Structure 1
Amino acid sequence: MFFNKFLGVCVLTSMFAISGCQKNEPHSKEKIEDVSQSGLKLDAAQMMTHLHAFEQIAKQHGGNRAVGTQGGLASADYILDQAKKAGFSTELQTFENREKTKGRNIIVEIPGESKQSIILLGAHYDSVKMGPGINDNASGVALLLDLMTQLSSQKVKLKHTIHLAFWDSEEVGIAGSQAYVKKLTAEQLKAIKAYINVDMVGTKDPEILIADGDKSSIDEMEKMLKERGMQEQDYKPLLDGLRSIPSHSGDLALENTLKAFFKEKNLEIKEDVATLTASDTAPFLGKVPVTSVILFNEQMKGDELEFAPCYHKACDTIEQVDPKSMQLAGDAVIHLLTSLD
């Protein structure tokens, strides 16, 4: 999760909880069951196995997996190896970020009945230089790797082609996903039926953030700030900035799908706009339907806001990850895929 000027807004939005709350050989095209009928379920234990692997990579390479470092390169190699074992084709996309560091995006293709209809799921695999980034965001990567393995082993029939994007340099300017989007043609953007971002999904005792597709939470925020006597000139620039964030007509349907999932589980959610600009959703906003699965646990450490324990620190290790949170996030992603297929 990349920290930007809007992300601190999460302190305010936390007051608005609502209930409901290079190329390899392609994989075999044999498929047996539709996603909606397959009983597909991700496995938290397997996700934790991947997290242990990423933690070992960090330990062996200076304690981090940051873009351009040996830990970052080893993380990319691990992802490529997992895709090869699953039998899926991969594309490696290189770019330079604002610090002139070379990054590598990895795109895994899981063929469906139509190559002109794509569901894109993404998670950044780089960490900050201060720590191993196991929750932020090896957790999201581990979820996508397990999804890839499950789709391979269960030979699920897919209506849409699925692309799994493992982004680099999210922590330095959200550069990987930006480089990817910049290269897409209008026709390629149109083919993407949804982008689902997965970030920090191992957080213990999480608050569930739902991307606010219709920005209704901004109006609620304004109403509450007025009721509390805050002067308009103090909050209007912030809210105007949030309202200016691009949106897509398909965002709301994805929001409602996630709301229904968490409502069925009797879990509280928070509608949120600010985090859309602070992760790999940002380059896609207004271009394709977007949603995200993000789990926060906001804490004030003196004057510093942490969005989860050990956020952007050396202690962001596997001890900070709750397998139950990983399973919940995995179930939410499968629910989204089922609704889209």
Structure 2
Amino acid sequence: MFVPKILTACVLSSMFVLGGCQSIQFNQAKTPSVESASVQLNAANMMQHLQAFEKIAKDNGGNRAVGTKGGLASAKYIIDEAKKAGLQAQMLPFENREKVVGQNIFVEIAGQTNESVVLIGAHYDSVKMGPGINDNASGVALLLDLMHQLKAERTQPKHTIVLAFWDSEETGIAGSQDYVKKLSPEQLKGIKAYINVDMVGTKNPDVMIADATKSSVDDMEKMLKERGMAESDYKPLLDGMRSVPTHAGDIALENMLSAFFKDKKVTLKKDVSTLTASDTAPFLGKVPVTSIIMFNEKMNGDELEFAPCYHKACDTIEQVDPKSLQLAGDAVVYLLKNIQ
């Protein structure tokens, strides 16, 4: 419903070459309503998906970057998983700033109404330097398990759920930008929330969520003043963070996640800057937005790493903690149960 009808979706042939194009039509088939959803994600299932993505990278030059054989094989894996779940995956091609063709993939879980959508997204491309298992096969694995669990439970959520697998996030955040810029104002109004899931397998993580109130910017300003930094040195940075667009619905999503992690006794970091560095960026100010990211920042020589092996060849399954995957999965399910 929320993919512009003027666009066309290209389906892949069995040889994984772009075949004929057909008009986008999300499957609107209804499933029986369940009064109390019992969906529960399973980190073991997510790890199996990560093993598959790691094999794809190993078999295709060590990466899954947009437009590469590894990227195309990753897209095929997502489409095949949708078929296994009895769902139809739809694809929308686009061209990024390097003139490389990427493929966004969408899978719909029909809700009690098709007038409102909760969009959950994760980018499936990696950088060219590595396999991208934490960044961001971890987010994709979470979405795939959610897809299978929703279908297996025959749960009909209140809102239609659209799972978006973005391509070319690592090159210009191109996939999600292409999608958003082609949505009409009416389509944007129908999106109840956009939830971004990125790097959710990090070991010993700092859990970061979107800071809708931008209180973290005020805290940063106070800290820099106390350290004696000149206002002229930090003001441009903080002014830029304060100018990040917001939506009136962002705060409700932030409060939901805060309540969830507080109940789990997990310490949160609320952040503004990461919103502009992932697939949340195109949605900011247009629809209610939140994100779940897990960092473990440290200095590696003179280089700041957001997580172990970030954007490197060693971003393999050995870097992923199933406990982090489970926590992120539980948080997404909590959001889906509480978004009104």
1:112 CA displacement = 0.7
User: Does the CA-based 8 Å contact 1:27-1:88 persist in structure 2?
Assistant: no
State the Cα deviation string for residues 140-164 of structure 1 (Å, max 9, x = none): 0000000000000000121100000
1:38 CA displacement = 1.9
Q: Please name the residue that 1:112 is paired with.
A: 111
Q: Please name the residue that 1:151 is paired with.
A: 150
1:32 CA displacement = 3.8
Number of aligned residues: 318
Gaps of 5+ in 1: 1-21
User: Does the CA-based 8 Å contact 2:125-2:168 persist in structure 1?
Assistant: yes
1:277 CA displacement = 0.3
CA distance change for structure 1 residues 25 and 169 in 2, over 3 Å: closer, same or farther? closer
Q: Please tell me the residue identity of whatever aligns with 1:208.
A: V
**Over aligned residues, Cα RMSD in angstroms?**
1.3
CA distance change for structure 1 residues 54 and 302 in 2, over 3 Å: closer, same or farther? same
User: Does the CA-based 8 Å contact 1:25-1:88 persist in structure 2?
Assistant: no
1:69 CA displacement = 0.1
Q: Please tell me the residue identity of whatever aligns with 1:247.
A: T
User: Does the CA-based 8 Å contact 2:26-2:108 persist in structure 1?
Assistant: no
| Whole-angstrom CA distance in 2 between matches of 1:241 and 1:225 | 16
Q: Does 1:274 align with 2:234?
A: no
Question: What is the TM-score with the length of structure 1 in the denominator?
Answer: 0.91
Q: Please name the residue that 2:199 is paired with.
A: 200
User: Does the CA-based 8 Å contact 1:248-1:290 persist in structure 2?
Assistant: yes
Q: Does 1:246 align with 2:245?
A: yes
| Whole-angstrom CA distance in 2 between matches of 1:232 and 1:32 | 56
Gaps of 5+ in 2: 1-21
Q: Secondary structure at the match of 1:33?
A: coil
Q: Please name the residue that 2:47 is paired with.
A: 48
1:24 CA displacement = 8.6
User: Does the CA-based 8 Å contact 1:26-1:87 persist in structure 2?
Assistant: no
Question: What is the TM-score with the length of structure 2 in the denominator?
Answer: 0.91
CA distance change for structure 1 residues 178 and 24 in 2, over 3 Å: closer, same or farther? closer
Q: Please tell me the residue identity of whatever aligns with 1:29.
A: K
* Aligned structure 1 segments of 4 or more residues deviating by more than 6 angstroms: 22-25
- Aligned residue runs from structure 1 range 58-77, under 5 A: 58-77=57-76
User: Does the CA-based 8 Å contact 2:31-2:110 persist in structure 1?
Assistant: no
Q: Secondary structure at the match of 1:213?
A: coil
Q: Secondary structure at the match of 1:143?
A: helix
User: Does the CA-based 8 Å contact 2:122-2:165 persist in structure 1?
Assistant: yes
1:115 CA displacement = 1.2
| Whole-angstrom CA distance in 1 between matches of 2:189 and 2:120 | 16
- Aligned residue runs from structure 1 range 43-192, under 5 A: 43-192=42-191
